[in-house]
Amino acid sequence: MTDAAADVRPGRQLSVQLEDLRSARELLEGVIVDTPMEHSRALGRMLGATVHLKAENLQRAGSFKVRGAYVRMARLTEEEKARGVVAASAGNHAQGVALAAKKLGVKATIYMPRGVALPKLAATRDHGAEVVLHGSNVDEALAAAQKFSDESGAVFIHPFNHTDVVAGQGTIGLEILEQQPDVDTVIMGIGGGGLLAGSAVALKQEAARQGREIKLVGVQAENAAAYPPSLAADALVPLQVVRTIADGIAVGRPGEIPFEIIKELVDEVVTVSEDAIAKALIFLLERSKLVVEPAGAVGVAALMEGKLETLGIRPESVVAVLSGGNIDPMLMLRVIQHGLSAADRFLTVKLMLKDRPGELAIISRIIADTDANVIGVDHSRIGGELSMGDVSIVINMETKGTEHSALVLNSLRAEGYEPLVMN
Protein backbone atom coordinates (compact mmCIF):
# COMPACT_ATOMS: atom_id res chain seq x y z
CA MET A 1 0.00 0.00 0.00
CA THR A 2 2.73 2.46 0.88
CA ASP A 3 4.58 2.01 -2.41
CA ALA A 4 1.39 2.52 -4.37
CA ALA A 5 0.48 5.56 -2.34
CA ALA A 6 3.86 7.10 -3.09
CA ASP A 7 3.28 6.72 -6.83
CA VAL A 8 0.31 9.01 -7.33
CA ARG A 9 -0.36 10.29 -10.79
CA PRO A 10 -3.14 12.83 -11.35
CA GLY A 11 -4.36 10.88 -14.36
CA ARG A 12 -4.67 7.49 -12.62
CA GLN A 13 -8.16 6.20 -13.38
CA LEU A 14 -9.69 5.90 -9.96
CA SER A 15 -13.48 5.98 -9.72
CA VAL A 16 -13.29 9.46 -8.15
CA GLN A 17 -11.01 12.19 -9.49
CA LEU A 18 -9.98 15.64 -8.30
CA GLU A 19 -12.38 17.23 -10.81
CA ASP A 20 -15.27 15.33 -9.17
CA LEU A 21 -14.40 16.88 -5.81
CA ARG A 22 -14.26 20.38 -7.26
CA SER A 23 -17.65 19.85 -8.87
CA ALA A 24 -19.01 18.56 -5.55
CA ARG A 25 -17.72 21.62 -3.78
CA GLU A 26 -19.64 23.87 -6.16
CA LEU A 27 -22.81 21.95 -5.32
CA LEU A 28 -22.16 22.42 -1.60
CA GLU A 29 -21.70 26.19 -1.88
CA GLY A 30 -24.08 27.82 0.60
CA VAL A 31 -25.20 24.44 1.97
CA ILE A 32 -22.34 23.62 4.34
CA VAL A 33 -19.80 25.71 6.21
CA ASP A 34 -16.04 25.66 5.73
CA THR A 35 -15.25 24.39 9.19
CA PRO A 36 -12.40 26.03 11.13
CA MET A 37 -8.83 24.82 11.51
CA GLU A 38 -7.86 24.98 15.19
CA HIS A 39 -4.19 25.16 16.22
CA SER A 40 -3.32 22.71 19.01
CA ARG A 41 -0.19 23.81 20.84
CA ALA A 42 -0.53 20.95 23.34
CA LEU A 43 -0.46 18.30 20.61
CA GLY A 44 2.30 20.21 18.87
CA ARG A 45 4.49 19.92 21.95
CA MET A 46 3.85 16.16 22.09
CA LEU A 47 4.80 15.65 18.45
CA GLY A 48 7.45 18.32 18.02
CA ALA A 49 5.47 19.61 15.04
CA THR A 50 2.74 22.08 14.16
CA VAL A 51 -0.64 20.43 14.68
CA HIS A 52 -4.03 21.70 13.52
CA LEU A 53 -7.48 20.20 14.11
CA LYS A 54 -10.00 20.30 11.27
CA ALA A 55 -13.14 20.90 13.33
CA GLU A 56 -15.79 19.12 11.28
CA ASN A 57 -17.61 18.52 14.56
CA LEU A 58 -18.80 22.12 14.03
CA GLN A 59 -20.32 21.28 10.62
CA ARG A 60 -24.06 21.57 10.01
CA ALA A 61 -25.82 18.52 11.46
CA GLY A 62 -22.71 17.92 13.56
CA SER A 63 -20.53 15.90 11.18
CA PHE A 64 -19.04 15.59 7.69
CA LYS A 65 -21.86 13.28 6.55
CA VAL A 66 -24.01 16.07 5.14
CA ARG A 67 -21.36 16.71 2.47
CA GLY A 68 -21.67 13.33 0.79
CA ALA A 69 -25.41 12.99 1.37
CA TYR A 70 -26.17 16.34 -0.25
CA VAL A 71 -23.96 15.75 -3.30
CA ARG A 72 -25.49 12.30 -3.85
CA MET A 73 -29.05 13.62 -3.57
CA ALA A 74 -28.49 16.82 -5.53
CA ARG A 75 -27.43 14.71 -8.51
CA LEU A 76 -30.61 12.62 -8.54
CA THR A 77 -32.94 13.10 -11.47
CA GLU A 78 -36.20 14.92 -10.91
CA GLU A 79 -38.03 11.60 -11.26
CA GLU A 80 -35.78 10.06 -8.58
CA LYS A 81 -36.27 13.01 -6.26
CA ALA A 82 -40.04 12.66 -6.63
CA ARG A 83 -39.78 9.05 -5.37
CA GLY A 84 -38.05 10.20 -2.19
CA VAL A 85 -34.99 8.77 -0.46
CA VAL A 86 -34.41 6.23 2.28
CA ALA A 87 -31.41 5.61 4.52
CA ALA A 88 -30.44 3.67 7.63
CA SER A 89 -28.27 5.03 10.42
CA ALA A 90 -27.88 5.33 14.16
CA GLY A 91 -26.80 8.94 13.97
CA ASN A 92 -24.61 11.05 11.71
CA HIS A 93 -25.68 9.69 8.31
CA ALA A 94 -29.32 9.97 9.39
CA GLN A 95 -28.92 13.65 10.24
CA GLY A 96 -26.91 14.35 7.10
CA VAL A 97 -29.53 12.77 4.82
CA ALA A 98 -32.37 14.48 6.69
CA LEU A 99 -30.74 17.91 6.37
CA ALA A 100 -29.88 17.38 2.70
CA ALA A 101 -33.43 16.24 1.96
CA LYS A 102 -34.84 19.32 3.65
CA LYS A 103 -32.59 21.61 1.61
CA LEU A 104 -33.55 19.85 -1.64
CA GLY A 105 -37.26 19.48 -0.91
CA VAL A 106 -37.09 15.68 -1.03
CA LYS A 107 -39.08 13.32 1.22
CA ALA A 108 -36.73 11.30 3.42
CA THR A 109 -37.45 8.13 5.36
CA ILE A 110 -34.77 7.13 7.85
CA TYR A 111 -34.62 3.73 9.53
CA MET A 112 -32.97 3.84 12.93
CA PRO A 113 -32.50 0.96 15.41
CA ARG A 114 -34.67 0.88 18.50
CA GLY A 115 -32.78 2.28 21.44
CA VAL A 116 -31.03 4.94 19.34
CA ALA A 117 -29.86 7.89 21.41
CA LEU A 118 -32.75 10.31 21.92
CA PRO A 119 -30.77 13.44 20.88
CA LYS A 120 -29.93 11.82 17.51
CA LEU A 121 -33.52 10.71 17.01
CA ALA A 122 -34.85 14.16 17.84
CA ALA A 123 -32.31 15.92 15.59
CA THR A 124 -33.18 13.69 12.62
CA ARG A 125 -36.89 14.36 13.06
CA ASP A 126 -36.27 18.09 13.52
CA HIS A 127 -34.80 18.20 10.01
CA GLY A 128 -38.13 16.94 8.70
CA ALA A 129 -37.35 13.26 8.02
CA GLU A 130 -39.81 10.48 8.77
CA VAL A 131 -38.10 8.16 11.23
CA VAL A 132 -38.93 4.47 11.46
CA LEU A 133 -37.54 2.60 14.46
CA HIS A 134 -36.67 -0.95 13.47
CA GLY A 135 -34.40 -3.68 14.76
CA SER A 136 -31.83 -3.74 17.53
CA ASN A 137 -28.84 -2.61 15.45
CA VAL A 138 -27.89 -0.72 12.31
CA ASP A 139 -27.60 -3.90 10.21
CA GLU A 140 -31.25 -4.75 10.89
CA ALA A 141 -32.30 -1.18 10.18
CA LEU A 142 -30.26 -1.29 6.98
CA ALA A 143 -32.02 -4.43 5.77
CA ALA A 144 -35.40 -2.83 6.46
CA ALA A 145 -34.40 0.34 4.61
CA GLN A 146 -33.28 -1.68 1.59
CA LYS A 147 -36.59 -3.57 1.60
CA PHE A 148 -38.48 -0.27 1.78
CA SER A 149 -36.47 1.00 -1.20
CA ASP A 150 -37.25 -2.14 -3.22
CA GLU A 151 -40.97 -1.94 -2.46
CA SER A 152 -41.56 1.82 -2.65
CA GLY A 153 -39.05 2.93 -5.27
CA ALA A 154 -37.40 5.37 -2.85
CA VAL A 155 -33.71 5.90 -3.68
CA PHE A 156 -31.42 4.23 -1.15
CA ILE A 157 -28.68 6.62 0.03
CA HIS A 158 -25.65 4.61 1.08
CA PRO A 159 -23.47 6.20 3.78
CA PHE A 160 -20.17 5.65 1.94
CA ASN A 161 -20.26 3.26 -1.00
CA HIS A 162 -21.10 5.64 -3.87
CA THR A 163 -18.84 7.85 -5.98
CA ASP A 164 -20.95 10.96 -5.35
CA VAL A 165 -20.79 10.37 -1.60
CA VAL A 166 -17.02 9.89 -1.73
CA ALA A 167 -16.64 13.08 -3.78
CA GLY A 168 -18.74 15.04 -1.31
CA GLN A 169 -16.79 13.81 1.70
CA GLY A 170 -13.53 14.55 -0.12
CA THR A 171 -14.27 18.28 -0.18
CA ILE A 172 -12.79 18.27 3.33
CA GLY A 173 -9.44 17.53 1.70
CA LEU A 174 -9.78 20.58 -0.54
CA GLU A 175 -10.48 22.77 2.50
CA ILE A 176 -7.47 21.36 4.35
CA LEU A 177 -5.19 22.29 1.46
CA GLU A 178 -6.54 25.85 1.40
CA GLN A 179 -6.52 26.39 5.16
CA GLN A 180 -3.15 24.72 5.85
CA PRO A 181 -1.16 24.84 2.58
CA ASP A 182 2.07 23.52 4.13
CA VAL A 183 0.45 20.36 5.56
CA ASP A 184 2.61 17.27 5.12
CA THR A 185 0.62 14.72 7.16
CA VAL A 186 -3.14 14.22 7.54
CA ILE A 187 -4.72 11.73 9.94
CA MET A 188 -8.39 10.79 10.27
CA GLY A 189 -10.76 7.99 11.24
CA ILE A 190 -12.14 5.26 8.97
CA GLY A 191 -15.45 3.47 9.13
CA GLY A 192 -16.67 2.42 5.70
CA GLY A 193 -14.00 4.61 4.15
CA GLY A 194 -15.84 7.38 2.30
CA LEU A 195 -14.21 10.28 4.14
CA LEU A 196 -10.68 8.88 3.91
CA ALA A 197 -11.05 7.88 0.26
CA GLY A 198 -12.41 11.25 -0.84
CA SER A 199 -9.82 13.17 1.16
CA ALA A 200 -7.08 10.96 -0.28
CA VAL A 201 -8.06 11.94 -3.82
CA ALA A 202 -7.87 15.63 -2.91
CA LEU A 203 -4.67 15.48 -0.91
CA LYS A 204 -2.65 13.00 -2.96
CA GLN A 205 -3.57 14.23 -6.43
CA GLU A 206 -3.15 17.90 -5.56
CA ALA A 207 0.18 17.19 -3.84
CA ALA A 208 1.32 15.33 -6.96
CA ARG A 209 0.42 18.33 -9.10
CA GLN A 210 2.55 20.48 -6.78
CA GLY A 211 5.46 18.06 -6.91
CA ARG A 212 5.42 17.22 -3.22
CA GLU A 213 4.19 14.49 -0.89
CA ILE A 214 1.48 14.46 1.76
CA LYS A 215 1.35 11.44 4.06
CA LEU A 216 -2.16 10.16 4.78
CA VAL A 217 -2.91 7.91 7.75
CA GLY A 218 -6.25 6.29 8.53
CA VAL A 219 -7.27 5.24 12.03
CA GLN A 220 -9.70 2.56 13.17
CA ALA A 221 -10.87 1.43 16.60
CA GLU A 222 -9.04 -1.84 17.26
CA ASN A 223 -12.35 -3.62 17.98
CA ALA A 224 -13.84 -2.44 14.68
CA ALA A 225 -10.90 -2.63 12.30
CA ALA A 226 -11.92 -4.20 8.99
CA TYR A 227 -9.41 -2.31 6.85
CA PRO A 228 -6.08 -3.83 8.03
CA PRO A 229 -7.08 -7.44 7.22
CA SER A 230 -8.80 -6.33 4.00
CA LEU A 231 -5.74 -4.43 2.81
CA ALA A 232 -3.48 -7.34 3.72
CA ALA A 233 -5.68 -9.74 1.72
CA ASP A 234 -6.38 -7.26 -1.09
CA ALA A 235 -10.03 -8.20 -0.68
CA LEU A 236 -12.96 -7.14 1.48
CA VAL A 237 -12.75 -9.08 4.75
CA PRO A 238 -15.87 -8.65 6.92
CA LEU A 239 -15.61 -8.70 10.70
CA GLN A 240 -17.68 -11.16 12.71
CA VAL A 241 -17.91 -8.87 15.74
CA VAL A 242 -17.78 -5.06 15.94
CA ARG A 243 -17.76 -3.51 19.40
CA THR A 244 -16.50 0.01 20.15
CA ILE A 245 -17.54 3.26 21.78
CA ALA A 246 -16.72 4.92 18.45
CA ASP A 247 -20.10 4.07 16.91
CA GLY A 248 -19.56 6.48 14.02
CA ILE A 249 -16.85 4.18 12.61
CA ALA A 250 -18.28 0.86 13.82
CA VAL A 251 -18.45 -0.66 10.33
CA GLY A 252 -17.79 -4.36 9.85
CA ARG A 253 -17.00 -4.32 6.12
CA PRO A 254 -15.27 -1.70 3.95
CA GLY A 255 -17.14 -0.20 1.03
CA GLU A 256 -16.01 -1.47 -2.37
CA ILE A 257 -15.56 2.00 -3.87
CA PRO A 258 -13.64 3.54 -0.92
CA PHE A 259 -11.51 0.41 -0.55
CA GLU A 260 -10.21 0.58 -4.11
CA ILE A 261 -9.16 4.21 -3.59
CA ILE A 262 -7.70 3.71 -0.13
CA LYS A 263 -5.52 0.78 -1.13
CA GLU A 264 -4.04 2.91 -3.93
CA LEU A 265 -3.58 6.24 -2.17
CA VAL A 266 -3.43 5.90 1.63
CA ASP A 267 -0.02 5.41 3.21
CA GLU A 268 -0.95 3.61 6.43
CA VAL A 269 -3.91 2.41 8.48
CA VAL A 270 -3.45 2.04 12.25
CA THR A 271 -5.69 1.09 15.16
CA VAL A 272 -6.24 2.59 18.60
CA SER A 273 -7.66 1.17 21.82
CA GLU A 274 -10.87 2.15 23.57
CA ASP A 275 -8.81 3.67 26.39
CA ALA A 276 -6.88 5.80 23.90
CA ILE A 277 -10.13 7.06 22.32
CA ALA A 278 -11.55 8.00 25.72
CA LYS A 279 -8.34 9.82 26.68
CA ALA A 280 -8.38 11.75 23.40
CA LEU A 281 -11.98 12.83 23.90
CA ILE A 282 -11.14 14.21 27.34
CA PHE A 283 -8.00 15.88 25.98
CA LEU A 284 -10.06 17.67 23.33
CA LEU A 285 -12.59 18.80 25.94
CA GLU A 286 -9.98 20.07 28.36
CA ARG A 287 -7.29 21.46 26.08
CA SER A 288 -9.14 22.51 22.92
CA LYS A 289 -12.61 23.16 24.39
CA LEU A 290 -14.13 21.00 21.64
CA VAL A 291 -16.97 18.50 22.05
CA VAL A 292 -16.07 15.56 19.80
CA GLU A 293 -17.69 12.15 19.50
CA PRO A 294 -15.45 9.08 19.97
CA ALA A 295 -15.26 8.37 16.22
CA GLY A 296 -14.12 11.94 15.65
CA ALA A 297 -11.35 11.66 18.23
CA VAL A 298 -9.51 8.60 16.88
CA GLY A 299 -7.02 10.66 14.86
CA VAL A 300 -6.01 12.58 17.97
CA ALA A 301 -5.86 9.30 19.90
CA ALA A 302 -3.36 7.98 17.36
CA LEU A 303 -1.24 11.12 17.67
CA MET A 304 -1.25 10.88 21.46
CA GLU A 305 -0.21 7.23 21.30
CA GLY A 306 2.77 8.04 19.09
CA LYS A 307 1.53 6.13 16.05
CA LEU A 308 3.28 8.44 13.58
CA GLU A 309 6.62 7.89 15.29
CA THR A 310 6.02 4.13 15.25
CA LEU A 311 5.41 4.36 11.49
CA GLY A 312 8.60 6.36 11.02
CA ILE A 313 6.69 9.47 9.95
CA ARG A 314 8.33 12.67 11.19
CA PRO A 315 5.98 15.49 10.22
CA GLU A 316 6.40 19.22 10.38
CA SER A 317 2.76 20.18 9.77
CA VAL A 318 -0.04 17.80 10.81
CA VAL A 319 -3.80 18.05 10.40
CA ALA A 320 -6.09 15.73 12.39
CA VAL A 321 -9.70 15.63 11.22
CA LEU A 322 -12.35 15.76 13.96
CA SER A 323 -15.08 14.15 11.88
CA GLY A 324 -18.08 14.70 14.15
CA GLY A 325 -19.44 15.95 17.44
CA ASN A 326 -22.76 14.13 17.80
CA ILE A 327 -22.29 12.44 21.15
CA ASP A 328 -25.14 11.40 23.40
CA PRO A 329 -24.77 13.08 26.84
CA MET A 330 -25.11 9.74 28.65
CA LEU A 331 -22.38 8.21 26.49
CA MET A 332 -20.24 11.28 27.08
CA LEU A 333 -20.60 10.81 30.83
CA ARG A 334 -19.49 7.18 30.58
CA VAL A 335 -16.64 7.97 28.22
CA ILE A 336 -15.39 10.78 30.45
CA GLN A 337 -15.44 8.50 33.48
CA HIS A 338 -13.64 5.76 31.55
CA GLY A 339 -11.15 8.20 30.08
CA LEU A 340 -10.31 9.72 33.46
CA SER A 341 -9.75 6.25 34.85
CA ALA A 342 -7.59 5.26 31.88
CA ALA A 343 -5.53 8.41 32.40
CA ASP A 344 -5.09 7.59 36.10
CA ARG A 345 -7.24 10.55 37.07
CA PHE A 346 -9.45 8.23 39.14
CA LEU A 347 -7.83 5.91 41.67
CA THR A 348 -9.69 3.17 43.53
CA VAL A 349 -7.85 1.29 46.27
CA LYS A 350 -8.82 -1.43 48.69
CA LEU A 351 -7.30 -1.50 52.17
CA MET A 352 -7.47 -3.93 55.10
CA LEU A 353 -7.55 -2.10 58.44
CA LYS A 354 -7.86 -2.94 62.11
CA ASP A 355 -11.39 -2.24 63.29
CA ARG A 356 -10.54 0.40 65.85
CA PRO A 357 -11.43 4.07 66.35
CA GLY A 358 -9.35 6.61 64.40
CA GLU A 359 -8.06 4.21 61.71
CA LEU A 360 -10.11 5.80 58.93
CA ALA A 361 -9.06 9.26 60.10
CA ILE A 362 -5.40 8.27 59.67
CA ILE A 363 -6.06 7.09 56.10
CA SER A 364 -7.93 10.30 55.35
CA ARG A 365 -5.07 12.39 56.65
CA ILE A 366 -2.49 10.54 54.51
CA ILE A 367 -4.60 11.01 51.38
CA ALA A 368 -5.31 14.67 52.20
CA ASP A 369 -1.59 15.34 52.64
CA THR A 370 -1.02 14.17 49.05
CA ASP A 371 -3.72 16.58 47.81
CA ALA A 372 -5.90 13.80 46.38
CA ASN A 373 -9.66 14.17 46.69
CA VAL A 374 -11.75 11.37 48.19
CA ILE A 375 -15.10 11.04 46.40
CA GLY A 376 -16.38 7.80 47.92
CA VAL A 377 -15.70 5.29 50.71
CA ASP A 378 -17.18 1.79 51.05
CA HIS A 379 -16.76 0.25 54.50
CA SER A 380 -17.33 -3.46 55.29
CA ARG A 381 -16.79 -5.68 58.35
CA ILE A 382 -18.16 -8.81 56.65
CA GLY A 383 -16.40 -10.95 54.04
CA GLY A 384 -14.62 -14.27 53.62
CA GLU A 385 -11.24 -12.52 53.38
CA LEU A 386 -11.68 -10.70 56.69
CA SER A 387 -10.47 -11.92 60.06
CA MET A 388 -12.22 -11.10 63.30
CA GLY A 389 -11.40 -7.50 64.17
CA ASP A 390 -10.54 -6.47 60.64
CA VAL A 391 -12.39 -4.15 58.29
CA SER A 392 -12.18 -3.67 54.53
CA ILE A 393 -12.51 -0.25 52.92
CA VAL A 394 -12.61 0.75 49.28
CA ILE A 395 -11.71 4.38 48.60
CA ASN A 396 -12.43 6.22 45.34
CA MET A 397 -10.23 9.25 44.73
CA GLU A 398 -9.66 11.94 42.12
CA THR A 399 -5.98 12.40 41.28
CA LYS A 400 -3.98 14.51 38.85
CA GLY A 401 -2.58 11.63 36.81
CA THR A 402 -0.15 8.73 36.90
CA GLU A 403 2.59 10.41 38.97
CA HIS A 404 0.10 11.76 41.50
CA SER A 405 -1.55 8.33 41.86
CA ALA A 406 1.87 6.80 42.51
CA LEU A 407 2.49 9.42 45.20
CA VAL A 408 -0.77 8.49 46.96
CA LEU A 409 0.05 4.79 46.88
CA ASN A 410 3.63 5.30 48.09
CA SER A 411 2.42 7.53 50.94
CA LEU A 412 0.02 4.82 52.12
CA ARG A 413 2.75 2.17 51.89
CA ALA A 414 5.17 4.38 53.82
CA GLU A 415 2.70 4.36 56.73
CA GLY A 416 2.53 0.56 56.72
CA TYR A 417 -0.62 0.03 54.67
CA GLU A 418 -0.91 -2.28 51.66
CA PRO A 419 -3.25 -0.63 49.13
CA LEU A 420 -4.64 -2.87 46.40
CA VAL A 421 -5.39 -0.91 43.22
CA MET A 422 -8.74 -1.88 41.72
CA ASN A 423 -9.77 -1.37 38.10
Q: What is the set of active-site residues? A: 65, 323
b/e sequence 276-312, b meaning 16+ C-beta within 10 Å:
bbbbbbbbbbeebebbbbbbbbbbbbbbbbebbeebe
Q: 225 exposed, middle or buried (CB, 10 Å; 0-12, 13-18, 19+)?
A: buried
- As a whole number of angstroms, the distance between CA 337 and CA 398 comes to 11
Q: 168 exposed, middle or buried (CB, 10 Å; 0-12, 13-18, 19+)?
A: buried
